Amino acid sequence: SYELTQPPSVSVSPGQTARITCSGDALPKKYAYWYQQKSGQAPVLVIYEDSKRPSGIPERFSGSSSGTMVTLTISGAQGEDEADYYCYSTDSSGPYWVFGGGTKLTVL
Amino acid sequence: EVQLLESGGGLVQPGGSLRLSCVASGFTFSSYAMTWVRQAPGKGLEWVSAISGSDGSTYYADSVKGRFTISRDNSKNTLYLQMNSLRAEDTAVYYCAKSGSSFHPDSWGQGTLVTVAS
């Protein structure tokens, strides 16, 4: 079965840039999406189609893609950005979709 | 404003059944794909099932195929998930989500908790 691989945790100091990666064999051909989930809350879409930002998402959130890896970048991370982040995509053989294992971002 | 309200969760014994519902408002329900995603306690998100808005095509994760059935009633703006032969590992918060053209969730409900235990 298809897998998306993320680091379990990332830590940065306030104001620094946080980068969260997600790797998967089909990512060169399939879009990735990123979700933020704060404790006790439903997930929120923060990046779609690799690098597009939904309305209402701060500009410090950006996404990029290179080969089999996509990256969520939070420029000038703030305490309110502490959350779990999940990438999401589909296998090239489809049709089914998967989430990465999630990355816990700590800003301290 | 998109609103999604799940219901139907609760405690059920292994081998039992449960039907989840998700009432949608704030968008043209029939025009959008819908997705169920679950999250076991303390664990990550797991895609469960999706249904297209156009022709009602359905898709399932291997972990639920043959046991769960997704359906929709566009006249009632309601999404369903019929869950049969439930197992302890199905214990999770189940979220319904409005989905985009690539079946990616773009708006989520608050979830309903399903607990499978004797």
Residue B79 structure tokens: 């999404």
- In this structure, are residues A23 and A4 in contact, taking their beta carbons and an 8 Å threshold? yes
Backbone angles phi, psi at A7, to 5 degrees: -70, 145
Contacts of B88 (CB under 8 A, 6+ apart): B14, B116, B117
Of A49, A96, A101, the CB nearest to B61: A96
Q: Which residue has the tokens 């009633």?
A: B73
Q: What is the mean pLDDT of residues B4-25?
A: 98
Beta strand residue intervals within chain B, DSSP E = 3-7, 10-12, 18-25, 33-39, 45-51, 58-60, 68-73, 78-83, 92-99, 105-108, 112-116
How much is the mean pLDDT over chain B? 96
Please enumerate in sequence order all residues whose Cβ is within 8 A of that of B76, keeping only pairs 6 or more positions apart, or say none.
B23
- Preceding peptide of B14 cis, ω within 30°: no
> What pLDDT, on the 0 to 100 scale, is given for residue A1?
85
Q: Which residue of B has its CA nearest to A36?
A: B45
Q: Do B44 and A35 touch (CB under 8 A)?
A: no
Inform me whether the pLDDT recorded for A12 exceeds 90.
yes
Is residue B101 very low, low, confident or very high in pLDDT (cuts 50, 70, 90)?
A: confident
| pLDDT score, position A96 | 86
Chain B partners within 8 Å of A102 (Cβ): 44-45
Higher pLDDT, A74 or A95: A74
Q: Could you count the other beta carbons within 10 Å of the beta carbon of residue B13?
A: 10
Q: How confident is the model at residue A95 (pLDDT cuts 50, 70, 90)?
A: confident
Contact B45 A45 (CB under 8 A): no
Q: Which residues of B74-85 are buried (b: 16+ CB within 10 A; e: fewer)?
A: eeebbbbbebee
CA distance B25 to chain A (A): 17
Q: Specify whether the CB–CB gap between B86 and B116 falls below 8 A.
A: yes
